[in-house]
Amino acid sequence: MNLTPSPLVLLSPDCTRVLRTENGERAQLDDVAAERLRTRQSGVPVSVDALDVELIEAGLLVVDDLSDALVEQRRARTRHRRTSKGQLVVMPTERCDLRCTYCYETFERGGMAPELVAGLQTYLIDAVSRHDRFDLAWFGGEPLLQFTTVRDVSRTFRQAAEARGIDHVISMTTNGHRLTRSRAEQLDGLIDVYQITLDGPRVVHDSRRVNIRGGGTYDRILANVETLLQCSTSEVTLRINMDPSNESESDKIIAWIRDDLRVRFHSFLERIDIHIVATWDASTTSIDGICLRDAGLARGWLSVREAESAMRGSSIEEDLAQTMSTPGSRSCYAASPHSYVIGADGRAFKCSVAFDLDENHVGQLHADGTLTVDEDRERLWIGETSESDPVCGRCSFSTACEGSFCPLVRIQTGQRPCPTEKTFAPQILDRSILHGNARYVSIPTETITTRGGSTR
């Protein structure tokens, strides 16, 4: 009988801490149990004894056949989640009133034509009748430059989704610059979640997120966020982009979260989420641009995340547990078979970044509400996931990532696009990443156990 750590469990580097990805539970193990897990992980043959039985009963060790069954069960759940949910990310305009220093948009196309807006509404009404869940996400360009389209289409979609009784969320990624009280009030009850970027305190934000004349935008956006929280019931995700150009400012960002945001928004903390996005090289979509492997940079990023977790009364380990146990929480919509990004001219894409890539242009939304799709191109995005990749299937991060953190990386490099959190998850579990001295941390590779033993 070959025993191996369960593919549904994350182990800290020394195996003294475990996290179950089925429910997010964490546990501390004694030295004897940890030593046995290390032995089983290494594949060294040891005869089975009472300690192994205890670890099997605790769900930490499994026999080969059960390990395969657990992987298949998780794949079936992933398949159901991916196929029952639909999503449309819509760019009502590709123009924007800011010129952020790291932005990749080319601002080529203006507002969506009225006949296409009508087609979009027809498509959405039909889509809610075909799914258990469907989300609408406004994106851009700056969607508030097409305020009436956003308001009217959101209303049509909400009415159709409520009439069918399906789960749905309407969100908007906006720079917040034009989010006046009047607009916020008109959109109350229509936009459930706003994602607004504030890249840190005024001095950091204003060096990166500038208006067309190059002026700072911090004060106006922050005031608009405050008004939004006061006059609506919407939730707000504040996005902080971190890359090598502002990583050295992480101490300032931590102090800003603790001393400014937390105080300013103390009555609204339940409706605010801070999303720290590590973009390690905005000029490339290669794996090195998207996934952070440098432990020194990771410490800065994780320290900011730790401050954000503390602001919500949580901790970085609790957030890791939540992420790892939430199906699809780190999977990109581009890998979903019923998810498209619709440009202002009706072109349909899978990815909301690589608009110049031919493979990303997979179809067209028409004025009559139909969507034509090139299935060969679409297969590039949805074909390689944890359902087909054997390493992803056995990865403890697979519940969250589904092998689809960034399908673009897979397409361009052929490598698995493991998110930064997965790379450092074992160290986060015992916090050694925050307190250790290592500059570079090797990427943990999943152990694939075969009947002949263990291979890396």
Choices 29-37, 104-112, 238-246, 399-407; region in contact with ligand SF4 by CB under 6 A: 399-407
Give which of 322, 291, 289 is closest to 441, Cα–Cα.
291
Given 395, 429, 433, 441, the residue binding ligand SF4 (CB under 6 A)? 395
Cβ atoms of 112 and 367 within 8 Å: the answer is no
Q: How far apart are CA 436 and CA 222, in angstroms?
A: 36
One of 351, 365, 429, 433 touching ligand SF4 (CB under 6 A): 351
Q: How far is the CB of 57 from ligand SF4 (least distance, A)?
A: 27
By C-beta, is 4 or 217 nearer to ligand SF4? 4
For residue 63, what are the β-bridge partners?
A: 3
Query: Per CB under 6 A, which of residues 418..447 are in contact with ligand SF4?
Result: 418, 422, 446
Among residues 352, 420, 432, 449, the one that binds ligand SF4 under rule CB under 6 A: 352
Phi-psi region of 59 (alpha: psi -120 to 50; beta: other; left: phi over 0): left
Q: Check binding of 7 to ligand SF4 (CB under 6 A).
A: no
Query: What gap in Å lies between CA 410 and CA 418, rounded to an integer?
Result: 10
Q: Is 408 in the site for ligand SF4 (CB under 6 A)?
A: yes
In the complex with ligand SF4, the residue whose CB is nearer, 300 or 407, is 407
Q: Is 285 near ligand SF4 (CB under 6 A)?
A: yes
The yes or no reply on residue 340 touching ligand SF4 (CB under 6 A) is no
CB of 398 to ligand SF4, least distance (A): 4
- Is residue 320 part of the contact set for ligand SF4 (CB under 6 A)? no
Choose one: 36-44, 110-118, 161-169, 395-403; the region binding ligand SF4 (CB under 6 A).
395-403
* Torsions phi, psi for 276 (to 5 deg): -95, 120
Query: Other CB atoms closer than 10 Å to residue 349's CB: what's the count?
Result: 23
Q: Which stretch binds ligand SF4 (CB under 6 A): 121-129, 246-254, 255-263, 401-409?
A: 401-409
CB of 347 to ligand SF4, least distance (A): 15
Please state the closest distance from residue 285 (CB atom) to ligand SF4, in A.
5
Cβ proximity to ligand SF4: between 291 and 365 the closer is: 291
Q: Which residues are at the interface with ligand SF4 (CB under 6 A)?
A: 285, 332, 334, 351-353, 386, 391-392, 395, 397-398, 401, 403, 405-408, 416-418, 422, 446
